[in-house]
Amino acid sequence: MDLLMLDRPQRTRGRPALNAAQAVDEDKLLGLAFATFAERGYEGTTLRDLSKRLGVSHNLLNVRFGRKEDLWIRAVDWRMAQASPFVEAAFDEPADPEVRLRHLIQRFCLWATSNGDIVSLTNVEGCRSTWRLDHIVEHFVLPFQRRLDGLLDAVRLQRPVHDLSTAALMALLVQGVGYYFCAVPMQQRLGAGQEVDDVHAAEHADRLAAFLLAALLPSVA
């Protein structure tokens, strides 16, 4: 036996050591996991597929996250923590309620231009009654809806507001504006591809926000 080999740590079979799992960049892993869940759906995604896309062992993901459902929760929570503050900052502005509402709608429409993965995932999960939908609604949708209800109530004390439920308004924003910017191939086939490209998307987000606000906040005589 080569005596030099005696100084080398021997590899063992089975799961990789914890320090090997910790060596993988977590943001990269969670980002790819979320993108895969959004693209293929929960049922269409396996830990083995994810490990191949990441270039790591299947066992490493098991060590790091455990079950697929645990990884889904971690990936969704991580992605929403990244994306939510841009829109929700409008709630906390030191401004008049109507101004905050206008900024909220404008921010949401602009947010939709660069968060198509979230729109895709919520579109899929929103059509199924699952524990995943429960997680999304409980942790993200309902808290946002409560704050939106409070803001709209404050605006109604100052001026007329269209009698539209917050559920309907959020659907117009996510499944309406969000889908418009998310479904780029569809817009291209409809001759509107330029409206959603990187150069013009922000401009059209402003137009959509103005359209929604004109309907939501009718002119005061």
CATH of 82-216, one of 2.40.340.10, 1.10.357.10, 3.40.50.150, 3.40.50.2000: 1.10.357.10
CATH topology of domain 16-72: Arc Repressor Mutant, subunit A (1.10.10)
pLDDT at 23: 56
What three-state secondary structure class fits 219? coil
Cβ atoms of 87 and 111 closer than 8 Å: yes
For the chain, what is the radius of gyration of the CA atoms? Answer: 22
pLDDT 10s per residue in the chain (221 long)?
A: 444 433 443 444 444 444 444 556 889 889 999 999 999 999 998 888 888 888 887 787 888 888 899 999 999 999 999 999 999 999 999 999 999 999 999 999 999 999 999 999 999 999 999 999 999 999 999 999 999 999 999 999 999 999 999 999 999 999 999 999 999 999 999 999 999 999 999 999 999 999 999 999 998 76
pLDDT at 3: 42
Kind and range of the H or E element at 207?
helix 201-216
pLDDT at 10: 44
pTM for the model stands at 0.85
pLDDT at 130: 97
In the chain, CATH 1.10.10.60 covers: 16-72
pLDDT at 46: 87
pLDDT at 2: 46
pLDDT at 24: 65
For the chain, give the DSSP string.
--GGGGGSPPP-SSSPPHHHHHTS-HHHHHHHHHHHHHHH-STT--HHHHHHHHTS-HHHHHHHH-SHHHHHHHHHHHHHHHHHHHHHGGGG-SS-HHHHHHHHHHHHHHHHTS-HHHHHHHHHHTTS-SHHHHHHIIIIIHHHHHHHHHHHHHHHTTS------HHHHHHIIIIIIIHHHH-HHHHHHTT-GGGGSTTTHHHHHHHHHHHHHHHHSPPP-
